[in-house]
Amino acid sequence: MDARRVGGRIAAARRALAAGGSLPIPVLRITNGLAMISLVLSSCDLLRLCSDRSRPLRFPLGGREFATVLCQLASVVYLLSLFGVPSGSGHPKAPASDDEGGGSPRRARAAADAPAAMHAGVEGGDEEIVAAVVSGTLPSHHLESRLGDCQRAARLRREALRRVTGRGVEGLPFDGMDYQAILGQCCEMPVGYVQVPVGVAGPLLLDGRQYHVPMATTEGCLVASVNRGCRAIAASGGAVSVLLRDAMSRAPVVKLPSAKRAAELKSFMEAAANFETLASVFNRSSRFGRLQGIRCALAGRNLYIRFACSTGDAMGMNMVSKGVENVLGYLQNDFPDMDLISLSGNYCSDKKPTAVNWIEGRGKSVVCEATIKGGVVQSVLKTTVQKLVELNIIKNLAGSAVAGSLGGFNAHASNIVTALFIATGQDPAQNVESSQCITMLEAVNDGDDLHISVTMPSIEVGTIGGGTCLTSQASCLNLLGVRGPNRDSPGANAKLLATIVAGSVLAGELSLLAALAAGQLVKSHMKYNRSSKDVASAAS
């Protein structure tokens, strides 16, 4: 506690006493001085008595000893009351904020680090607070911690924004959001929320179970297209998924004095004999984080160390980062000349289309396949097996190669991934690597039926943490049967969600390719992706 905060608490105690009419300020100064003198004198007397062997302390205490102890206790209780420590002395206790009790450790840390409560005179009515924000005397990002009411903080920030910009945000919804739930977890300085419609496609018949897939999107025809793909899959007996790998990655970059020294560290990190030791250090960070592998890349004297680990039902970026910090601290013992440049050196690689994710995988690596009957291709998809196979080769494979695509050998995997991510509270920006997908089609059973598969090496999802705590997103996870952690088998819910994402992509790929092969794409979008209101206004 710094001197300014101590002074503030003493001043607050004095104001509280003065406001209550207990003691005037001059008298209060005298009592403070007397209490300090009493504390010092009684402490010295107690020390002298305890060190006097000819007159040891005995119970019951004598008159002098009793008086000394009583003065000591009275002085301590009085002085503690000035610092706001509950002492039963009759000082009123400050009301608890909404953050107390319950809430995540992260939120508790945010509350602990928050600035002290507003001083008297500023924390008045809404008008005074808005004026303080507009003038800049009260930073907008301090409102939650200063007021202790997240709903009120967001409302006043919204009004301050209107006054500063001269533009209102009346169309931006405000009521209906739990602003306490997003504090320290989802979004800073909120002023409302954006409405995104959620449609449901399905049922998707996957691995013998049916799923109704929630999709948050503003693109007309998308949910209808995935729904048609689900219908074709179900009519053909369903799809099957295989989870190949489950490993979130984080890759710090460190610099050493020379390339030779960096190579020595690389050899140390990749040596099989050292893995168990490094894993034990890494795994201390979490009950669920388990190191699976380490891969290094060298660029001059810079070493990029890619850690991969399982993360239970969480997406796991924070979990991996904590484990990495543990290992880096351990490495400093043998490599004191190692200089950490960044906890993330882009070799991870997060939110970027990279070859390392395409080859090594990141998050969940899933393959999903189905065999669509020839009759279903004709009746539901309105095309033929041969047209679909040819289209996939020329468009998804050759066309993507001509474009120099990295992981984009598909029709529109990102469409489905993003819609599912927004609906279920995932990080939408991780759509970049999570949408890496290669779609394969071939004729089977003497050319009568169609085999389709999607291979997705980097699906990054979780069922706890981040936006999964929000009511709407939690409802969508609950619809899929994967809400929260899996108590019986940690990690099972996140893995299941990843397979549902791949199964939904399979349905979307099947339907869009069919629409292209049949020449129905424009007609479908004119039907589902054009508002009659927009068409009427354009015509006029």
CB 466 within 8 A of CB 315: yes
The yes-or-no verdict on residue 23 having pLDDT over 90 is no
CB 176 within 8 A of CB 210: no
215 and 264 housed in the same domain: no
pLDDT in tens, 275-292: 999 999 999 988 899 999
Q: Mean pLDDT across the stretch 160-171? A: 92
Q: How confident is the model at residue 7 (pLDDT cuts 50, 70, 90)?
A: very low
Of 291, 470, 510, 250, nearest to 382 by C-alpha is: 510
CB 463 within 8 A of CB 493: yes
Q: Which residue in the list 322, 382, 451, 525 is annotated as catalytic?
A: 525
Look at the block and give the residue holding tokens 């301090």. 142
174 and 257 housed in the same domain: no
Residue 16: CB atoms within 10 A of its CB come to: 16
What is the reported pLDDT for 40? 78
What is the reported pLDDT for 122? 44
Q: How confident is the model at residue 90 (pLDDT cuts 50, 70, 90)?
A: very low
Rounded Cα distance, 242 and 31, in Å: 76
262 and 141 housed in the same domain: no
In a domain, 434, yes or no: yes
In a domain, 511, yes or no: yes
Q: Which residue in the list 144, 159, 427, 460 is annotated as catalytic?
A: 427
Q: Mean pLDDT across the stretch 73-94? A: 56
What is the reported pLDDT for 30? 76
Three-state secondary-structure class, residue 144: helix
What is the reported pLDDT for 117? 43
In a domain, 213, yes or no: yes
Residue 155: CB atoms within 10 A of its CB come to: 19
170 and 210 housed in the same domain: no
What is the reported pLDDT for 513? 97
> Any idea what DSSP says for residue 399?
I
What is the reported pLDDT for 37? 81
375 and 516 housed in the same domain: yes
Three-state secondary-structure class, residue 322: helix
The yes-or-no verdict on residue 219 having pLDDT over 50 is yes
What is the reported pLDDT for 20? 42
In a domain, 18, yes or no: no
Least confident of 53-57, 232-236, 386-390, 495-499: 53-57
Q: Is the bond into 400 cis (omega within 30 degrees of 0)?
A: no
Domain span at residue 327 reads: 252-342
What is the reported pLDDT for 133? 95
338 and 412 housed in the same domain: no
389 and 488 housed in the same domain: yes
Of 489, 512, 414, nearest to 459 by C-alpha is: 414
Q: DSSP of 271-292, one letter per residue? A: -HHHHHHHHHHHGGG-SS-EEE
427 and 489 housed in the same domain: yes
What is the number of structural domains in the chain?
3
CB 55 within 8 A of CB 68: no
Tokens linked to 176 = 């209906």
What mean pLDDT value characterizes the chain? 85
Q: What is the 3-state secondary structure (H, E, C) of 152-207?
A: HHHHHHHHHHHHHHCCCCCCCCCCCCCHHHHCCCCCCCCCCCCCCCEEEEEEEEEC
242 and 148 housed in the same domain: no
372 and 452 housed in the same domain: yes
What CATH number is associated with residue 512? 3.90.770.10
> Any idea what DSSP says for residue 266?
H
In a domain, 86, yes or no: no
Q: Which residue in the list 45, 207, 219, 390 is annotated as catalytic?
A: 219
The yes-or-no verdict on residue 436 having pLDDT over 80 is yes
CB 493 within 8 A of CB 484: yes
In a domain, 68, yes or no: no
Rounded Cα distance, 160 and 392, in Å: 53
CB 199 within 8 A of CB 223: yes
What CATH number is associated with residue 262? 3.30.70.420
Close Cβ partners of 471 (under 8 Å, ≥ 6 residues apart): 178, 181
Of residues 426 and 3, more confidence is placed in 426
313 and 462 housed in the same domain: no
pLDDT in tens, 439-498: 999 999 999 999 999 999 999 999 999 999 999 999 999 999 999 999 999 999 999 999
Catalytic status, residue 525: yes
In a domain, 113, yes or no: no
Catalytic status, residue 188: no
393 and 521 housed in the same domain: yes
Q: How confident is the model at residue 69 (pLDDT cuts 50, 70, 90)?
A: confident
Is 295 exposed, middle or buried (CB count within 10 Å of its CB: 0-12, 13-18, 19+)? middle
pLDDT in tens, 239-288: 999 999 999 999 999 999 999 999 999 999 999 999 999 999 999 988 89
In a domain, 115, yes or no: no
Q: Which residue in the list 142, 255, 351, 451 is annotated as catalytic?
A: 351
Q: How confident is the model at residue 43 (pLDDT cuts 50, 70, 90)?
A: confident
CA-based Rg of the chain, rounded to a whole angstrom? Answer: 32
Three-state secondary-structure class, residue 141: helix
What CATH number is associated with residue 139? 1.10.3270.10
pLDDT in tens, 314-353: 999 999 999 999 999 999 999 999 999 999 999 999 999 9
